[in-house]
Structure 1
Amino acid sequence: MPDLLLELFSEEIPARMQARAAADLKARVTDGLVEAGLTYAGAVAHSTPRRLALSVQGLLADSPTVREDRKGPRVDAPEKALEGFLRATGLTRDQLEIRDDKKGQVYFATLEKPGRPAAEIVAEVVEQVVRHFPWPKSMRWGAGSLRWVRPLHSILCILTDDAGAETVDLEIDGLRAGDVTAGHRFMAPSHFSVTGFDDYEAKLKRAKVILSAEERADHIWVEAHNMAFAQGLEVVEDKALLAEVAGLVEWPVVLMGDIGAAFLDLPPEVLQTSMKEHQKFFSVRNPKTGQIEKFVTVANRETADDGATILAGNHKVLAARLSDAKFFWENDLRTVREIGLEGMAAGLETVTFHSKLGSQADRIKRISTLAREIAPLVGAKPDLAAEAARVVKADLQSEMVDEFPELQGIMGRYYAEAAGHDDGVPEACEEHYKPLGPGDDVPTGPVSVTVALADKIDMLTGFWAIDEKPTGSKDPFALRRAALGVIRLMLENAVRAHLSEVFVKGYAGADADDLLAFFHDRLKVHLRDEGIRHDVIDACIGMPGNDDLVLLVKRAEALATFLETDDGENLTQGFKRANNILTDEERKDGVEYSFGPDAKLAEAAEEKALFGALDAAEARIAPALAAEDFAAAMSAMADLRQPIDAFFEAVVVNAENQILRRNRLNLLHRIREICLKVADLRRIEG
């Protein structure tokens, strides 16, 4: 069983495309091989800046011969039907077989598709994959028609078994496959032949190429960490940057350099962002001060001077970049000290938020007004919340955020501190955007929570008012994320509020009921990740106070726990039985059996016991619900399980005596009424 080694060697592949390209190469080649009848034992793909490589182990040497019996027309069918069948199968009449079938005798054709050598199939599959590879962007070069992400220089394609290596007979747009590749562009550019994957990987490493992206990333991180640790410093972790840098080099050489003293007073976020975005440098931090003091860069080659020349060039370029950042920082601080943060925010009058929702300044006024309303619900001072709302977006007018948009909020905190704001206002500037996703931290400071809620609720009510709601997979204004942010802010900070009332205080014209339904859908998604079923949430959404998210989730959690018990499951079935009988009989009779049942009419002991159990449960459920002790309410409801079961076993509800029948149906209504005070069990599935 041979092994396949494929390498596509080209000019530098953009780092952001490499991992996806390796996965696509593996999937498309292996899928093609399997479709052609070649199964395999395992496959692994790799990428470096200059090559995509695929190793497929344990291929079949040949595809199996396939035989197929194809049913044709009946023997007495028209001649044209037989002629069509012969054309479709490529056989003659004397090659057909007549067999007995349910409807008489019919023609059968036995078709045989002979197996083919693996090399022949590999050549076809690889050519199709290369010609139709799904690069996000591709190019043509020279006079050929082939498109690739960058000019493709060579193709290595061999099959290796115990007898040795065989080059696959493959040519694509003038590139003939061989068993040859090249090493590092600068340190080992010579070509060499290989006999299989292990030989290929080992010779590449001797030629200064680490094939595995994961190995390159690990090497970079360990070297950088060790260099920093030796000086009492630490590297700021950045997995995305690490993956990108590992895709820029075939032979990573880690170097550490100093940041000029003139730039050390810049905020660490500014240093980190500038170095990452412009230079792909890792930041090195002093854990005692939190200040960024050095940087780590990764070269693609070893040098005789141990990287001194490379570092000198990097220092020069970095100084120019950081000089720009320092200029922006000092200009912004000067502006803030002269006119204040609200003065900086005044420029937002000319910045459109949305053509139908006004400018950013208009939006800030709305957020400030709404923050005053929300503040008491969160425990924040209304004046402080309004003050924060007026300045949280001022940094959008700063030169620093104009250069680095990802620093919005962070710079707002620095500028708010410089302008003399305190009592949670600077923190609100940074945190009011949060949470940005499911894994993002949720603010806890009262002012931050207030402004974050006001910001998101203004956005939601505004877009609801102009009928710009998410549809299907389209959500251009990230309204689902905003709703989830509100949900997490309220739940994780135990904010008790009726959302319907808050929505009315937001942007005028929003349909509060429709927006609340949207929130309930988002809540289902959120709680599903917490392990609570959607039907459990539906059963609680149907209850009063469903716009108080804390209350709603508290009820849902208690119900979910209750339903996991035998009592909960059995009571639900008993409730449904009572509800179904009652619903059917009310439909037949055209009346509602909602009058109080009379205990004096109870005959069987089980019927009398149910009356007593309902009285006892109701006496416990009412105060428990008033105290929002849903666990106690459901415990009281659980006590109804046995009396309800016993009642149905011993009593015929639809008795011939109409007085007894009506009384028992009214008794079922009381069961439904008491249970529905706790949760809408009609919505529970199963």
Structure 2
Amino acid sequence: MSELLLELQSDEIPARMQARASEDLARLLGDALKTQGLVPEALEAFATPRRLAVAVKGLPEAQPDLEEERRGPRVDAPAQAIEGFLKSTGLTRDQLEERTEGKGTFLFARISRKGRPTLEVLPEIITGVIRSFPWPKSMRWGEHSISTDSLRWVRPLQSILCLWDGQVVPLEVEGVRSGNITRGHRFMGPSPFPVNNAEEYRTKLRVSRVVLDLADRQRMIDAGARKLAEAAGLELIEDPGLLAENAGLTEWPVPLMGQFDESFLAVPPEVIQLTMRANQKYFALRVPETGKLANRFICVSNVEASDGGKAIVAGNERVLAARLSDAKFFYETDLKIRLEDRLPRLGEIVFHEKLGTLAAKVERVARLARDLARFIPNCDADLAERAARLAKADLVTGMVGEFPELQGVMGGYYAEAEGEPLQIAQAIREHYSPVGPNDACPTAPVSVAVALADKLDTLTGFFAINEKPTGSKDPYALRRAALGVIRLILENELRLPLLPVLEAARKALGQDGADGAVDQSLLDFFADRLKVQQREAGVRHDLIDAVFSLGGEDDLVRLLARVSALGTLLESEDGSNLLAGYRRAANILRIEEKKDGRRFDGAVDPALFTQGEERALHEALLGARAEVDGLLKVEDFGGAMSVLARLRPLVDAFFDNVTVNAEDAAVRANRLNLLNALRAAVHTVADFGRIEG
């Protein structure tokens, strides 16, 4: 077994493409090798800003020999068909066998092909991988750029290192010939050097100031940044995405610490962090004692400077000072215009061509937030309406225009600076939340009202114009909005009836509410999202279906309380046996109702009972229904299901001793009505027919 080493060196590969590129190289090469019968023992790919590399271990010396039998045309087929088969197999007519199969006699070719040496196969495999590489963005260059079938690569390809057990694999792509030569760091190790194998390749690159493994570069940055922060008595603000990006920008990462003028700390910390992160790729630091942002930053250089990085730090400090000056200008300029005075400009922004302007949406959300306040404990309706009316005003500020990621956040700062109540500032800041499953969910009453109103208006609006999610497409993030509504309701334990709320939201859109289709489809959508959300919490989707399918249940807190009680019931022996009895009753009813063409939903007549088990079950059902109805009114769902579980022995006794399909038609109908009464009693808590397993 032997080793293959391939390196494709180019101009700088964008950091965001490197991880995917190394995965694609490993996948494409591995698949191509296996297709040729060359199955490796191990394959490892790497990416740096200037190279893609892959080391393949345990390749066989040659392809396996091929033994194949191929069936051809019938012996009496036209000569042209037989000639075509001979050509495809490389055999002559007398080398073919004749064999009768089924109703015909066919020609068979037995092909024996000796496997080619791996070194002979590799050039075509590797050339094919290079030419078919799936870069998200690529280019042509030089004299080859005018040809439509010339190589496309992410940046101009400079060299190819390709070795098979120390021997150069001969190939050429667009004038670039393979060899055993590579180069290290562009500035600290630019001299070319030869390598013989993967281990030597990695070692010599390290000497030439190139860390091949992305994970190793990330560790170097993280350890160096933490060491600098600790020496300054500060804490590094962790940012995994920024860590990966810096590792993708450097082959020899060197963390350095700089600082900026303390006066910039008057700007909101989110602005400073975003300025440093988005524009400069800097890490932010905080003061451990207060948790506040420090006037320091960590940048990552790609060189070890002779002056210890002083000039590099000074240059980065000058650039950051200019960036922060711009941010401070935006912030101070924005403060000169009150949020309320910005509202008319929202009328110039179209939210959606069928749903009006952003100003129209703001008015709808403000009215809905006031209406929702009555369902949210300790929520001031006036504050909720005011917060909703101001929540989108920061979209027309200079700061949000520069950094759209800060929408809501900046509105909160501006509201606070203008002297608005803290509840309003907080609600503006949080009204987009929760954005995802790991995002914090608002809990302050006014914040909850505005966040709910904004999401419910969006959902109702887009469903009203039939812009619903389809398959994997969800251009308006409606699934995310629905999950946000569900989290806001459940995590704050709001007793919120969704149907009336959706009706109010729909009327705000100008619909008359005569057709309930919008509300029902949206309620079904919430049910689907609830199942997704609860599945992650370990709740069975069929139990949610069993409760939801009863209809009329739009209180999510109450619904999940029912689901929890149902789950507890089914985990008990009585509950599982009651489910079995219910299914037996439901199956009998379905069969007999289909056979008779009628429903057995009439009143049960005790005078037609002929056995004690009938009477016992009927009396127990009457008592249970009354008790269950009382418990359901006080939302004691566990108690209601316990009452139903007590029916289990009576149901068992009925099926053990009573023949449902009695010869007497009246007795038979009465017994089927009794089974329907059992089914109806169970359906007061859940539709057991929806329960799986």
For normalisation by structure 2, the TM-score amounts to 0.94
Gaps of 5+ in 1: none
Q: State the distance in 2 between where 1:93 and 1:607 align.
A: 84
Give the CA deviation at 1:417. 0.8
Q: Hey, what does 1:232 align to over in structure 2?
A: 233
1:189-338 equivalence runs, <5 A: 189-289=190-290, 290-335=292-337
Deviation, structure 1 residue 566:
3.9
1:148 to 138, 144, 153: 153
Match of 1:370 in 2: 368
Query: Does residue 22 of structure 1 match 2:22?
Result: yes
**8 Å contact 2:284–2:293 — kept in the other structure?**
no
CA distance in 2, matches of 1:277, 1:203: 34
What's the secondary structure of 2:143's corresponding residue? coil
Which amino acid is 1:319 matched to?
A: A
- Partners of 2:644 and 2:285 in 1: CA distance: 60
Q: Give the % identical residues.
A: 53
1:8 counterpart SS class:
strand
Indicate conservation of the 8 Å contact 2:416/2:422, yes or no.
Answer: no
Which residue pairs with 1:478 in the alignment? 477
The total of aligned residue pairs comes to 678
Q: Which structure 2 residues correspond to residues 248-647 of structure 1 after superposition, within 5 A? A: 248-289=249-290, 290-335=292-337, 340-379=338-377, 380-506=379-505, 507-509=509-511, 511-647=518-654
Amino acid of the residue matched to residue 17 of structure 2? M
CA distance in 1, matches of 2:349, 2:100: 82
Please give the alpha-carbon distance, in whole angstroms, between the structure 1 residues aligned to 2:197 and 2:475.
49
- Asked whether the equivalents of residues 61 and 118 of structure 1 are also in contact (C-alpha less than 8 Å), the reply is yes
Q: Aligned partners of 2:647, 2:74: CA distance in 1, in Å?
A: 68
In structure 2, how many angstroms separate the alpha carbons of the residues matched to 1:13 and 1:104? 61
CA distance in 2, matches of 1:124, 1:540: 61
Q: Which amino acid aligns with 1:527?
A: Q
Partner of 1:188: 189
> Would you say the 8 A contact 1:272–1:292 is kept in 2?
no
Aligned residue in 1 for 2:147: none
Question: Partners in 2 of 1:233 and 1:15 — Cα distance?
Answer: 28
Match of 1:157 in 2: 162
Deviation at 1:169, TM superposition (A): 1.7
Bigger Cα displacement from structure 2, 417-426 vs 645-654: 645-654
C-alpha spacing 1:350/1:132, structure 2 compared with 1 (3 Å) = same
Counterpart Cα distance in 2 of 1:629 and 1:84: 80
C-alpha distance in 1 between matches for 2:27 and 2:510: 52
Cα distance in structure 1, aligned partners of 2:359 and 2:385:
14
One-letter amino acid matched to 1:5: L
1:112 to partner: Cα distance: 2.5
Structure 2: distance between partners of 1:32 and 1:453: 52
Q: Tell me, what secondary structure is at the counterpart of 1:3?
A: strand
Residues 320-354 of structure 1 deviation map (CA, whole Å, 9 limit, x = unaligned)? 1111111111112222xxxx321133322222222
Name the CA distance, whole Å, in 1 between partners of 2:576 and 2:79: 66
1:107 counterpart residue number: 107
Q: Distance in 2 between matches of 1:73 and 1:647?
A: 69
Amino acid at match of 2:283: F
- The Cα offsets for residues 366-423 of structure 1, whole Å up to 9 and x where unpaired, read as 1111111001111211101001111111211221111111111111111111111124
| TM-aligned CA deviation for residue 546 of structure 1 | 2.1
Unaligned runs of 5+ in 2: 145-149
One-letter amino acid matched to 2:163:
I
Residue identity in the other structure for 1:493? N
C-alpha deviations, 1:44-97, integer Å up to 9, x for none?
111110001111111122111121222344556676665554344343221122
**Is the contact made by 1:373 and 1:382 (CA closer than 8 Å) also made in structure 2?**
yes
**SS of residue in 1 equivalent to 2:296:** strand
Measured in 1, the distance between the counterparts of 2:619 and 2:351 equals 63
Does the Cα contact within 8 Å between 1:268 and 1:292 map onto a contact in 2? no
Q: Retained in 2: the 8 A contact 1:345–1:395?
A: no
Partner of 2:7: 7
Contact 1:364–1:389 (Cα < 8 Å) also in 2: yes
Q: Tell me the CA shift for residue 229 of structure 1.
A: 1.3
Offset, 1:178? 1.2
Residue 131 of structure 1 corresponds to 131
Q: Specify whether residues 56 and 569 from structure 1 end up closer, same or farther in structure 2 by C-alpha distance, changes over 3 A only.
A: farther
CA RMSD of aligned residues (A): 1.9
1:503-547: CA deviation from partner (whole Å, max 9, x where unpaired): 111123382122212222222222222223332222111124322
Identify the residue that residue 44 of structure 1 maps to in structure 2.
44
Report the more deviating stretch, 113-122 or 388-397.
113-122
What is the aligned partner in structure 2 of residue 35 from structure 1?
A: 35
Distance 1:267 1:657 in 2: 84
CA distance change for structure 1 residues 280 and 80 in 2, over 3 Å: closer, same or farther?
A: closer
1:353 alignment partner, SS class = strand
Q: Distance in 2 between matches of 1:457 and 1:100?
A: 72
Of 469-478 and 479-488, deviating more is 469-478
Deviations 1:150-175 (A, max 9, x none): 11111111122xxxx12112111111
What is the CA-CA distance between 1:280 and the residue it aligns to? 0.9
Q: Please report how far the alpha carbon of residue 596 of structure 1 lies from its aligned counterpart in structure 2 after TM superposition.
A: 2.7
Q: How far off is 1:228 after superposition?
A: 0.8
- Do the aligned partners of residues 677 and 170 (structure 1) sit closer, same or farther apart at CA in structure 2, a change above 3 Å counting? same
Write the letter of the residue equivalent to 1:542.
Answer: S
Instruction: Find the aligned partners of 1:82 and 1:172 in 2 and give their Cα distance.
Output: 39
Output the CA distance in 2 between the equivalents of 1:366 and 1:583.
Answer: 48
Whole-Å separation in 1 of the counterparts to 2:674 and 2:419: 68
Native 8 Å contact 1:33 1:121 kept in 2: no
1:57 equivalent in alignment to 2:57: yes
Distance in 1 separating the partners of 2:380 and 2:201? 68
Q: For residue 189 of structure 1, report the CA deviation from its aligned partner.
A: 0.3
Q: CA deviation at 1:127?
A: 0.8
Confirm whether residue 175 of structure 1 aligns to residue 183 of structure 2: no
What whole-Å deviation, never above 9, does each CA across 1:24-54 have from its counterpart, x for those lacking one? 1111110111111111111111111000111
Structure 2 SS opposite 1:44: strand
Answer whether contact 1:139 1:148 (CA < 8 A) is retained: yes
Q: Could you tell me which amino acid in structure 1 is paired with residue 54 of structure 2? A: L
User: Alpha-carbon deviation of 1:249?
Assistant: 0.6
SS of residue matched to 1:296: strand
